[in-house]
């Protein structure tokens, strides 16, 4: 466990949205080296922020503070000074650490930006309390934070991309976020519903 933590270097930031750390980033494609801040670390990947983020291409290595090894990763999208990054071969061992139960489902979902200007249709194929995997076309056209609308829910769920490509994406569900100022609903009940009711629905498909 300890050796794995050292090799990944970012494990101590896992599932802490407000935690961040300065890192050194090496681009294996063009040999650029930049300083950046890693944040929003999940089981799939993390966010890199730097004014030099545009120098990165796809295949990178990230060295956190006091780490002796690089964390291999892939840049999936860049917006402004931020890059969405997914773990490379190491993502399996990070995923193995996840204690959350995931369910194979097939649930129709609408994915839209927070203003509702751009909306695409997709399918949730893997769901848990804190995250899900979605297949859809045009995912790279959406901003980092989106709204997920499902038939089983009375209101949209705010989510953010952990990683994505043109046809699929890993999402983190932000249950503590709401678009309503006077939100008195019980979020704990909803988090249990997404994997349980949706599993029942997928079994009937």
Q: Is the pLDDT of residue 100 over 60?
A: no
The string of pLDDT tens digits covering residues 10-64 is: 887 887 777 899 999 998 888 889 999 999 888 888 999 999 998 888 889 998 8
pLDDT for the residue numbered 34: 94
Please choose, from the candidates 177, 6, 66, 56, the residue with its C-alpha nearest in 3D space to the C-alpha of residue 48: 56
What is the number of H-type helices and E-type strands within the chain? 3, 12
The string of pLDDT tens digits covering residues 160-185 is: 998 888 788 998 888 877 665 334 44
What's the rounded Cα separation, in Å, for the pair 199 and 151? 13
pLDDT for the residue numbered 179: 60
Write the CA distances from 21 to 39, 40, 67, integer angstroms. 7, 10, 12
pTM of the model: 0.47
């Amino acid at each position: 466990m300890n050796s794995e933590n050292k090799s990944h270097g970012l494990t101590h930031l896992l599932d802490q949205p407000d935690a961040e750390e300065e890192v050194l980033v090496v681009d294996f494609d063009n040999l650029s080296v930049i300083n950046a801040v890693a944040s929003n670390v999940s089981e799939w990947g993390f966010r890199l922020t730097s004014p030099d983020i545009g120098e990165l291409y796809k295949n990178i290595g990230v060295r956190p503070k006091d780490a002796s090894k690089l964390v291999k990763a892939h840049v999936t999208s860049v917006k402004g000074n931020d890059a969405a990054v997914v773990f490379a071969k190491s993502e399996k061992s990070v995923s193995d650490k996840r204690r959350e139960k995931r369910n194979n489902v097939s649930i129709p979902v609408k994915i839209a930006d927070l203003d509702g200007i751009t909306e695409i249709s997709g399918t949730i194929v893997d769901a848990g309390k804190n995250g899900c995997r979605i297949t859809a076309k045009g995912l790279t056209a959406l901003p980092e934070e989106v709204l997920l609308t499902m038939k089983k829910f009375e209101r949209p769920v705010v989510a953010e991309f952990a990683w994505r490509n043109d046809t699929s994406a890993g999402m983190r569900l932000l249950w503590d976020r709401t678009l309503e100022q006077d939100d008195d609903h019980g979020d704990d009940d909803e988090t249990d519903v997404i994997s349980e009711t949706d599993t029942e629905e997928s079994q009937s498909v």
